[in-house]
Structure 1
């Protein structure tokens, strides 16, 4: 077997009317970030529209759900009424209920599944991409497990049962396609355990599911950014620390939340679109047909094949850079040398691609990621800019899912939060203790306070 880039496939991918194009998403999907501003999700209803779409997908229904007047007219037409007055009253009632669902005002899990996507057709594309990302990352391999949770909490009410009569039970076949790959199996398992824990309290689950889902979406995206930038050093098992500040705390440059929070993530996002293009090209090779291969996957396959296979692929990368990429773009590229390692080849490859990505794409691409931060995790730090933060509601939700027994030791709580992608410095931890103590969730084993416990919030 030869271990080379497949130039024929790559030529079809990069050529558009004879010109080189920096495309993505042929065989590899990296992040659910649109490059066009109109398609960016604005989160008018918080994250509930995404949650509703995911629930429908789990229930094998179309991610789209209509709340138009046509639906109401069809329901009314099928109904039987004593007189015109009762028909009019029911029509008004139905419209009011649908309006509340459209605005994301729900009290049950079943109602969550009725929240529609945005009315803006362009922005809907961004929401659907987030639904696909979340579903493929956290749910696809756990559909039966999640369906069991939903079935055990069948809290349907009259309005949702009526609306469900007008909803197709068959999902669009396109929705069954796998787009993204779960690169953090432990994080996926943690989400499922947290969901099962929340399900012990149905009302808490309905009120906090969207909050839990946006948290895990953001953590998965953040870790994907940090780990992809490590190229072959991608670590699937160990999350990289990302620090948060509590919403009511004062930001400062010396705080870890400034240095290793939003500032770090946005720094890692600079030029990241190059990975979207590069991974598609590198995945088009003669030794693997797998989709969604990252640098560490290619490294693993080549290591199994032996040093000669790795050397052949390294040469192929540099040959393509000089004979194809340089010729088509006139961008200066690194030349092959015998001491080049696979890591160095990937690094040189990325740097060459980065030089070709337009400033426009590089500036638009991170905006959707920043939109999630601004909507759900932003604290205005004055001259320090945006600081990653947690509200009290977000904090209590994370504390709630972290405790599966009657209580846990305080020091264990910090480890549980880190398993869920949240790191806090010493000052923030003190604030957490103050909040939990104020809400009567803290328990001391002795007057000395040496052993402190946190009670079960659920």
Structure 2
């Protein structure tokens, strides 16, 4: 087998009207972030429209909800009314209920799948991208398990059943091919366990499922940023620390929540779009047809194939940089030498691609990530800028998800939060204890008098 880049395939990917384009998402997709501002999700309904779209995908339904008056007419056709007045009253009632759903107001899990996407077509693209990311990362191939978790908890009212009769647009059915890879198996399993645990209390799940979904979406995105920047040292079994502060705490420069929180992620996002382009080119090779291959995947394949295969691929990378990339972009690139390792080849490749991507693309891409931070995790830290924070509701949701029995030791709670990609410094931990104690969720001492416990919230 030949171990090289597929020049012909790459040329078709990069060229548009004879010009070089920094495209992405042909064979590899990393983050659900648009580079066009109009396509950025605005989260006017929080995360509920994205959650609703994911639930519809779980049940194999259209991710779009028909919100037109025609959909109400379709429902009325299936009904029988004693007189015209009854039909008019019911029509008015349906319209009122649709307004409630448009506002994201639900009272049971069955209604959760009825919240529509935004009416703005451009912004809807951003919402759909987030839906696909969350579904592919946490639920794909586990749909049956999720349906089983939700099915026994669904308390469908008559109205929900009736409104579920709305016809679907066959042209917008779910695609069977995954756009994104699920790269953190432990985090995926934790998500499914948390969903199952929170489902023990149906009303709590209804109120907090969107918060659970946005938490895991952001946690995975943060880990993808940190791990992808490690290139071949990407670890799918390790979560890297991302520190949060509680919303009511005072931020400070010396605290971990400043140094290893949003400030760290902003730094890691600098020039990150280069990976989106680079991995699509490096993944277009002659030895693998698999999609969503990251640096460490290619690295492992070549190590397994042997030193000769690795050397051929390295030479191919530098040949492409010199003969194609430099020629088409007029950007200086590193030259090949016998001392070059695969890690060095990847670094040289990424560096060359970064030089070619415009500041506008990098800025809009990064701002799409910060839009999620600003909506769901932002604490204004004054001169320190935006600090990643947890609201009391968010904290209690994570605590509830962490406790599967009647109680757990306090020291275990910190470990459970870290399994969910949340790190807290000593001061934040003290604040957590104060809140839990105030709400009567703390048991001060064990029988032996040497441990503290946190009681179940559910």
**Alignment TM-score > 0.5, same fold:** yes
Aligned-pair RMSD on alpha carbons? 1.4
Report the counterpart of residue 56 of structure 2 in structure 1.
56
Give CA-to-partner distance per residue, 1:353-372, whole Å, 9 cap, x none: 00000111011111221111
Count of matched residue pairs: 458
Change (3 A) 1:434 1:415: same
Alpha-carbon distance in structure 1 between the residues aligned to 2:302 and 2:81: 71
TM-score scaled by length of structure 1: 0.98
Indicate if the aligned counterparts of 1:409 and 1:454 stay in contact, CA closer than 8 A: yes
Indicate if the aligned counterparts of 1:62 and 1:171 stay in contact, CA closer than 8 A: no
Residue correspondence of structure 1 range 18-37 to structure 2 within 5 A: 18-37=18-37
TM-score scaled by length of structure 2: 0.98
Indicate if the aligned counterparts of 2:3 and 2:313 stay in contact, CA closer than 8 A: yes
Residue correspondence of structure 1 range 185-334 to structure 2 within 5 A: 185-334=185-334
Alpha-carbon distance in structure 1 between the residues aligned to 2:261 and 2:311: 38
| 1:375 maps to 2:375 | yes
Deviates more, 1:380-389 or 1:152-161: 152-161
Deviation at residue 449 of structure 1 after TM alignment:
6.2
Deviation at residue 447 of structure 1 after TM alignment:
9.5
Indicate if the aligned counterparts of 1:65 and 1:116 stay in contact, CA closer than 8 A: yes
Give CA-to-partner distance per residue, 1:3-40, whole Å, 9 cap, x none: 11110111111111111111111111111111111111
Change (3 A) 1:451 1:67: same
Gaps of 5+ in 1: none
Deviation at residue 276 of structure 1 after TM alignment:
0.5
Residue correspondence of structure 1 range 306-455 to structure 2 within 5 A: 306-445=306-445, 450-455=450-455
Indicate if the aligned counterparts of 1:102 and 1:115 stay in contact, CA closer than 8 A: yes
Alpha-carbon distance in structure 2 between the residues aligned to 1:171 and 1:70: 18
Residue correspondence of structure 1 range 102-121 to structure 2 within 5 A: 102-121=102-121
Deviates more, 1:74-83 or 1:266-275: 74-83
Indicate if the aligned counterparts of 1:185 and 1:237 stay in contact, CA closer than 8 A: yes
Give CA-to-partner distance per residue, 1:340-364, whole Å, 9 cap, x none: 1111110110000000001110111
Deviation at residue 318 of structure 1 after TM alignment:
0.9
Deviation at residue 81 of structure 1 after TM alignment:
2.6
Change (3 A) 1:407 1:169: farther
Indicate if the aligned counterparts of 1:60 and 1:169 stay in contact, CA closer than 8 A: no
Alpha-carbon distance in structure 1 between the residues aligned to 2:168 and 2:17: 41
Give CA-to-partner distance per residue, 1:130-184, whole Å, 9 cap, x none: 0100110000021110111122123111221111112449794452221100000
Indicate if the aligned counterparts of 1:219 and 1:421 stay in contact, CA closer than 8 A: yes
Change (3 A) 1:161 1:354: same
Deviation at residue 451 of structure 1 after TM alignment:
0.6
Indicate if the aligned counterparts of 2:66 and 2:168 stay in contact, CA closer than 8 A: no
Alpha-carbon distance in structure 2 between the residues aligned to 1:449 and 1:424: 25
Report the counterpart of residue 68 of structure 2 in structure 1.
68
